[in-house]
Structure formats: structure tokens, C-alpha cells
Structure 1
Amino acid sequence: MTYSPVITANKDGLVASSSPTIRALDGIQVGFWDGFGHRGGSKYLLSQDPRLLVFLRDSSSVQITTDERGLAPLRTKPMPQAIFLPAGVPLWSKITHGSQFQILQVIGHSDKLHRFLRPTLGSSAALSALNEIVEVQDSKSVSLLSHLVKDELLGSNRRDAYVENLVGSILADVVENPNTEGKDLSGRLTMAQTRKLRSLIDASSSYRLKVGDLAKHLGLSEDWFSSCFKSTFGTTPARWLLERRIIEARRLLNRTTLSIADVAQLMDFSDQAHFSRAFRRIVGKSPNEWRRDQSRPDSEG
């Protein structure tokens, strides 16, 4: 496993860093840096294994991007408190003003990190999580656990099993609860949040989910969730939920002999009139008109 420093001197000598404290464990390596970054310093990182970076001090002086076109100002954003990068994902960073850094970095084999996540996420979701960039901002639990790892690395009793458990807890916290204070840095839902949202919807056996249910599942306020959802999917969550119900209603109208009233009840509309109004708003026709059109030989369904 290749292990590269987070902050190091670039060709202009603009970045200074103390020697890192590195601990090699079974399938993972943990490093801690306590150094100073000079204004204008930049760094390009690329790892063939998944990487987790946690800033134990303020990271506001660092701008980052994963855009292959590099550090153009319009493509960068502030470094979050913690960021998980899948294997092979590059990261460009630039320091906007001099500041002291404390950084914890974990690089681990995918199979090892999968074992950390599998008990809580399940095997397939854990594999998916390892292929997604995840950002966390202002998480008290990530901060507390990371400081415990730092203390253990710098202390005299460096117990491997203890450090491994702490690292596994940090990773699970980041992947399971991205942006725990409720705001994605880009104003969009992250891939991890989108995955959690789809898991909730797939697991639901009814059509009674409300916007508040979705927001609560992600730990976001309803207003902020609605804003991020629209930025991500181009529609409001209320309309998206309605469209999902109408899609299923169309399937029932086309493939069963259920009455319009029965379909309205199954799709959790208050009555047939409410269902018909919603159906016309989405489809452009009433349920009766749409069903009649589907029975025509030239209908495309």
C-alpha cells in the first residue's frame, strides 16, 4: 500500500509540515500531521486505496476540488471537516492563507474497510459506499473519535485493536451520517444521502411517505432538505413523491381491472376526485381518458 503525506513541501517550498506519525495496522495505515501550511501552497493527492481525511483544526484556509481540470477558482470549494475519497479519486488542494493544521489520514484496503461497514450497512450497501465521495461538516462524534486516535498514536501504549475500532467507528460515522449538521457544501444531496433516501423508499411498503419523513431520515430540516433535493433532482420532493404514486397508478390502471376509486385508495389519495386532479396535473389526462387510450391498438403504453 502506497502512503503519501497530506501536507508536504511543493516545488516552491510553500508548504511546511512536521514529520507525520504513522501507524501501520492490519490492512490500514493511520497517519497524523501537526504542521503549518503557507499561503499559496498546493498539493495533488491520488491513492490506489480508499482514503479518509479528517481535519482536527479549522480547515477553512484550504480549498479543494476533485475536478480533473484542477484548481481553477470556480471549481473549488472549502475543505470540509472530513472527506472520504474512493480508490483512484484525485484531490487537488490549495491553501488560501497561512494556518496551523492537524490532520488525521486513513488509507485502507477496500476489503478491510468493507469489513468495518458491513455490520451496519449490509454487504451490498457497504460496497456501494466505498465508491462514493462523502463529506461531513461539524460532526462532534467524528471530532471526538479522531482526537482519541491522535492521542493513541502519540501516546506510549499504541494498541492496534483499539485504534482499529476507533478508525472503524469514524469511517462508519462519516459514511452513514454525511453532513450531520444538515448542509451539504454544494447545496445538493451527496451520493451517500441519495443512497440512504432510495433505501428508505425501496423498503417502504406504502405510498404514505411525506417530505418530512425523507428529511428526518437524512437528519436534515425539511426546508433545507427540500432545497437540496430540488438542486439535485430538478424537482421538489413533494412533486417527486406524487409522480412516483402516479407512475404506480398508471401501472395499475393499465394492467388490472381495478376501478378508478380502488386505485385512488391504494395510492393513498383522499378520494377519487383528488386522485383525478393529481393524475391530470402529472399526465395531462384524467385516469379514465388515459386508461381508454391504453386500450387502443396503436397505444404505446
Structure 2
Amino acid sequence: MSYRHSMICQTEGIRPTAPVKWRGLDGMMSVFWDAEGLSGAKAYYLSPDPRIVIFFNDVSSHISMSNREGGFAQFHRPMVRAIYVPAGVPLWTNFTSSHRFSHLDLHLHKDRLLRILSPSVGASVAQTALRRPVEIQDVAAIETLAMLLVNEMSNPSRHAIFAESLVGSIVTGLLDIPESNSDTHNGRLTDGKMKKLISRINERSDCRLSVAEMAETVGLSESWFANVFRQTTGKTPLQWQLGKRIELAQKMFLESDLTVADIAAQLGFSDQAHLTKAFRQIAGETPAAWRRIRRKN
């Protein structure tokens, strides 16, 4: 996609020490700076798009940052080697001493990031990751990827897809993507997660959990859980849960003399008619007929 980033950038006491290098990519803009900040220099940044900043030297003892205006007295923290700033999150920086530094700025369109992440982790998990700020001091492999990208920006020698893939690797290496998706296999819940969910359902006297509670049990977002659950069972979470409630109702019909109305109340159905309708849909018979036939046998 054609992309031009737009960011409010107000600086004081900061100047480039070499020509800025930049390269526009598909839904991305890469900018490399060599710069110097004087003691007391400050800056304010606000972007409608997510962005990543990677420093090629340790600036933690020279630059402080805060996400609150006027927050340096109480809420400041040292600038780290790499940060991910979600869209719409403001950032103030302040130089505690003069310092020269080099850093790579990556301005990224949200839709482009979703195209990178969603095929592997799902749209819901990807969107959640895009909302989480990240700050790390140990950049390790990310710095290597960033240097490769800067070299390609300075002396383009390959198709743009090479630079774009480097950006994609930086994104996936830096963003806080929940590890819970490792608990799915080929888009399905693992046996361990299904057993955990069944155990949680069985702990409830009425076998009732909301979809959000079911998703929390297995450590997934609600929408991602609903998707992989259907891939696993062929049913929606609520269809599956209703089946479990009817199984419990059948057990109660066989092992007790409770009325249909009593069992409906215990299992959280609105009334006897509600249980009867759900029971017939799943078991193919009314509760009274089902109980009569099985007790005769």
C-alpha cells in the first residue's frame, strides 16, 4: 500500500549530525538518524500509527522518557534500547546530559502490521498485541536485524521484499505476542486445554460458564478462543456447553426423582419449557419420555 506516515514531532536541543536516511516500503517507513542531544534537550512525539524506535547505543543514562505530560518529576524512566509505541500513545523525552546517538525509526500502518501477524496468531491476538507498549533493553537479535535494514536502506541491493521481511522479523521479535497461542495446534485446542476446560465446566453445579470465562480458562482471547474451539469440536462454545448441561440433566433424571422443573432450576434454565426444548433438540425426546424409556430398561 502507498503509505506516508504523519507524526507530531516537537524537538528542542536535538540536531542530526549526518544526512537522514529513509526508505518507504509497503505500509512502512524506515528512517535512520545520527543525531546529538544537548543537556536539557527535550522532545514530544505523537503518531496516529504504531512505531518502533531502536537505538544502536545505550542511551539509558542520558535520555529519560514519559508518557505523561509534565510527568518527569514522578513518572519518568530511562530510555531503553528498543521501544514499541502503540498508535495514539504520546511520548515525551528529556536529555539529562549531552549525548550522540544513532537510532532507527519504523513507522508502520496498522493494517500492514495486521497483515504480518494475523495469519499466524489470528486477528484478535494481533490487535491485542498492537495495543501493548513494549520497552526492552536487551535488543540482541533485533539489533542485528535493524543493522541489516539500515544497510539495505543505505545501499539498496535487493527487492523491497527483503527490507519488508526484515521489518516483519523486527515486529514479531519485539511485540508482546501472547504465548498462549502455542497452546493451539494446527488451529485447534490441545488435548490438555480441552481437559482443563472440561474440568472447569464439571466443577460448576450447572455446567455454565460464559464464553469469556471459558476463554480465560485456557488462556486465549475470547474471539480467538471461539474460532479455535469451533475448529476443535465442530460446535460453538455455547452449543458445546449446552450439550454438557443436557448430559448432566440426563444423569439427574436417571439418578433422582426430581421433577423437570426442579432440574431446570438447578441447571439454570429459565423454566421447565426451556429445558424441555433444549433437551429435545439434543436428545431427540422430551425429558419425561427419555426418563420413562431408560428407567424401563
Shared fold (TM-score, shorter chain, > 0.5)? yes
- Give me the CA root mean square deviation: 3.3
Aligned counterparts of 1:37 and 1:205: Cα–Cα separation in 2:
55
- Cα deviations across residues 186-217 of structure 1 (Å, max 9, x unaligned)? xxxxxx5xx4359859956558xxxxxxxxxx
For structure 1, the 5+ residue unaligned runs are 179-191, 208-243, 257-296
Q: Which residue of 2 aligns with 1:268?
A: none
Q: How far off is 1:65 after superposition?
A: 1.3
Aligned counterparts of 1:23 and 1:134: Cα–Cα separation in 2:
24
- Cα deviations across residues 216-258 of structure 1 (Å, max 9, x unaligned)? xxxxxxxxxxxxxxxxxxxxxxxxxxxx99x948x625337xx
Q: How far off is 1:153 after superposition?
A: 1.2
Q: Does 1:15 pair with 2:14? A: yes
Q: Which residue of 2 aligns with 1:31?
A: 31
Q: Which residue of 2 aligns with 1:63?
A: 64
Q: How far off is 1:109 after superposition?
A: 1.1
Q: How far off is 1:110 after superposition?
A: 0.7
Aligned counterparts of 2:8 and 2:33: Cα–Cα separation in 1:
8
Counterparts in 2 of 1:280-291, with a 5 A limit?
none
Q: How far off is 1:28 after superposition?
A: 1.0
Amino acid in the other structure paired with 1:196: E
Q: Does 1:112 pair with 2:63? A: no
Whether contact under 8 Å (1:71, 1:93) holds in the other structure is: no
Whether contact under 8 Å (1:9, 1:17) holds in the other structure is: no
What TM-score do the two structures reach when normalised by structure 1?
Answer: 0.58
Aligned counterparts of 1:253 and 1:47: Cα–Cα separation in 2:
47
Amino acid in the other structure paired with 1:173: G
Q: Which residue of 1 aligns with 2:92?
A: 92
Aligned counterparts of 2:156 and 2:203: Cα–Cα separation in 1:
67
Q: Which residue of 2 aligns with 1:252?
A: 203
Aligned counterparts of 2:5 and 2:153: Cα–Cα separation in 1:
20
Q: How far off is 1:143 after superposition?
A: 0.7
Aligned counterparts of 1:174 and 1:200: Cα–Cα separation in 2:
21
- Cα deviations across residues 118-177 of structure 1 (Å, max 9, x unaligned)? 2332222112211221222213110100011111112253642211110011001101xx
Change (3 A) 1:206 1:89: same
Q: How many residue pairs get matched?
A: 202
Aligned counterparts of 2:43 and 2:189: Cα–Cα separation in 1:
42
Q: Which residue of 2 aligns with 1:73?
A: 73
Q: How far off is 1:90 after superposition?
A: 0.7
For structure 2, the 5+ residue unaligned runs are 208-264, 266-297
The structure in which a higher percent of residues are strand is 2
Q: How far off is 1:15 after superposition?
A: 1.6
Aligned counterparts of 1:252 and 1:150: Cα–Cα separation in 2:
56
SS of alignment partner, residue 16 of structure 2: coil
Q: Which residue of 1 aligns with 2:218?
A: none
What TM-score do the two structures reach when normalised by structure 2?
Answer: 0.58
